[in-house]
A and B are shown apart, each in its own frame.
Chain A
Amino acid sequence: MQILLNCLSLTSFYLCFALGLALVFGVMRIINFAHGEFFMIGAYATYLCISTLSPQLGGPVAWAIGAIVAAAVTGLLGLVLHRIMVVPLGDKPLAIFISTLALSYVIQTIVFQIFGPVGLSIAPPMRGVVNFGGAILPASRLVVIGVAAVLAAGLWVFLMRSEAGRRIRAVAQNPRGALLQGIRTEKVGRLTLILGSSIAGICGAAMGPISQISPFMGAGALWKAFIIIIVGGIGNIWGAVAAAAIFGVLDTLMSQFGAGRFLALTSAAVMLFVLSVKPSGLFGEKE
């Protein structure tokens, strides 16, 4: 039971982190290298909100406001990113990749200057632990699981049941066809980037209370998100969900049975194996 809960909690974290990246990648075929930094900014925004508001409003309310602020700030960043980089560089994935990589260093340095290099701790909005049939789970991890579930479900409903979501899917399937149907692809791209970035910000808000926050927290988790996207398959958001679950379970089991040191090797081996057998990923369609 404890193992199951740990699997769920790790899967939720991977899912949170990779979901926004997979959405942006799936629709626009661009990699935002600064995604990890957006996540980090979300965590810092939450930290500021909680440290200023929690005495008056109490932890949970302050955290909720923090999450909203985090989403707003990172969404705005996504908008700016779209305006200054994605639009001018349009169909040059490499140029976008490298310029967002450069952007991630700029953001890291700025945050480093403002808050210092030392990790900060956010007071968890929910204290205590929850018992599930003899297994324990810190309440703040429950928040992450909840956030991941809500985000994934919300995204599904949005994509499948709303007008804007349909447009996004149309562009993801066939940008030119969508354009011919009168869909403004640039607008859709902007919306996608704002959404993906906001998701990163919310995840930062959810993950912040669990681990220390530092200017470099985003970069450390990014490579795993890349592996998840690759294994999940090109342009397939649900593939990323499945891959997050695969790695969540695999990594938890390995840590549980004392093979934690082989984690990176195994993840890379899984990725390389999938690439050898099916270059478009497990659930990807041929490009």
Chain B
Amino acid sequence: MSAFRRDLMTVCALGAALVVGGFVGSNYMLGVFVLFGMTSILVLSYRTITTMGGWSFAHIAIMGIGGYSVAILSKPPFDLPVLVAIVAGGLFAALFAALLSYPVLQTRQYYFFLSTFAAGEALRQCFIQFREITGGTSGIAFIERPEILPNPSSTLEFLCLVAAVLVLLGIFYASLDASDAGLKIKAVGEDEALSSSIGIDAWALRALAFILGSFGAGIAGGLFATYNGIVSPSDINAMLMFKVVAACVIGGTTRFSGPILGLLFLTLIEEIFRFVPEFVPMIWGVFVIIAILFGQWARGRLMVWRIKNA
């Protein structure tokens, strides 16, 4: 079974599981499934960015662009259908990433996380400051659900929509991964100097990964906004960013199943400790530290074992 097929199976199985779970689960579970589906879109799009070797910390701020686009475009004077606005939000997020990509992708490693972190934070501050457009700290409320749903107030129908979007984007990202460009992006992520030496345009491919990954973040942001009915600067919180990064760290980013399983694990913790939510970040943090340190230790042991048994 090829990697491409396995990734497709992963997203389709996840989409199906969400829908089936939605039909049999309680009302509370429905909400959990919807959030899980939307966050899955975030982690899958984030994984695409990580394949080029850079871990961005602006992903959630860029998601906010999608949310605000939907809030603004679905209201007068634009009055676009919500679904069109969501797609537009994804495109705006991609556009923003494209603008950011020249300065930010000049940087490597630590500079890349620092600069994306600072840029994301500055963007969040802008959402707070430009009150005329974004409604300041209170945000923009009364965002409609997409019109294509027969019954807009039904969470189950919205869950089906999320699952459909998840599968579509999953197919898109899996195809990208398996394509020529996707393989080159991975090569650049592995060893940039070597890739450049055989004539791969490293910068363009890193920008491509960053832009396409940000597109998914924008779509997820649009879905969040229409699901909550409101978008505000508090949606762009560090916890969510941490959740996305932690899912990729705990699960690994080689295949699609990694981040999804990581996210599943974090969500389980969140649900188990539902009654003491203030402890959740700490428990997540502890698990991330364990995952990183244990991974390092295990790699070391493996190396020793290989040398001994060589």
B253-289, CB under 8 A of A: which get 1 and which 0? 0000000000000000000000000110110111011
Q: Is the CB of B288 within 8 A of A275?
A: no
Contact flag A265-B122 (CB < 8 Å), given A94-B109, A95-B292: yes
Interface flag for B142 (CB, 8 Å): no
A108 at interface (Cβ–Cβ under 8 A)?
yes
C-alpha spacing A97/B113, complex, angstroms: 9
What's the A-B contact tally at a CB cutoff of 8 Å? 130
Q: Are B107 and A275 in contact (CB under 8 A)?
A: yes
Interface of B is mostly: helix
**Contact B282 A109, beta carbon cutoff 8 Å:** yes
The reply to whether B238 and A219 form a contact with Cβ atoms under 8 Å apart is yes
Q: Is B296 an interface residue (CB 8 A)?
A: yes
B288's nearest neighbour on chain A, judged by CB, is A102
Q: Is the CB of A265 within 8 A of B126?
A: yes
Contact A110 B282 (CB under 8 A): yes
| B249 located at the interface, meaning its Cβ lies under 8 Å from any Cβ of chain A in the complex | yes
* CA A271 to CA B115, docked complex, whole Å: 8
Residues of A within 8 A of B102 (CB): 276
Interface string of A194-224 (1 = CB under 8 A from B): 0000000000000000000000000100011
A113 touches B278 (CB 8 A): yes
Do B285 and A275 touch (CB < 8 A)? no
Are A264 and B107 in contact, CB atoms less than 8 angstroms apart?
Answer: no
Is residue A112 within 8 Å, beta carbon to beta carbon, of the partner chain? yes
Does residue B227 face the partner (Cβ distance < 8 Å to A)?
Answer: no
The distance in angstroms between the C-alpha atoms of A89 and B297, with both chains bound, is: 9
B103, CB-defined interface residue at 8 Å: yes
Pairwise interchain contact A275-B115, C-beta atoms closer than 8 A: yes
Which B residues lie within 8 Å of A106 (CB)? 281-282, 285-286, 289
Q: Smallest CB–CB gap between A62 and chain B, Å?
A: 31
- From A85, A229, A273, give the contact of B103 (CB < 8 A): A273
Whether the Cβ atoms of A230 and B118 lie closer than 8 Å is: yes
Contact B113 A102 (CB under 8 A): no
The CA of A113 and the CA of B283, in the complex, are separated in Å by 14
Asked whether any CB of chain A lies closer than 8 Å to the CB of B130, the reply is yes
Docked complex: A248-287 residues within 8 A CB-CB of B: 261-265, 267-268, 271-273, 275-276, 279
Asked if A98 meets B245 with Cβ closer than 8 Å, knowing A109-B281, A272-B103, A272-B104, the reply is yes
A54 within 8 A of B: no
B residues sitting closer than 8 Å to A (CB atoms) are 55, 100, 102-104, 106-107, 109-111, 113-115, 117-119, 121-126, 129-130, 238, 242, 245-246, 249, 278-279, 281-282, 284-286, 288-289, 292-293, 296-297
**Contacts A/B (CB < 8 Å), 9 sampled:** A25-B110, A99-B292, A103-B289, A106-B285, A226-B114, A226-B115, A264-B125, A272-B104, A276-B102
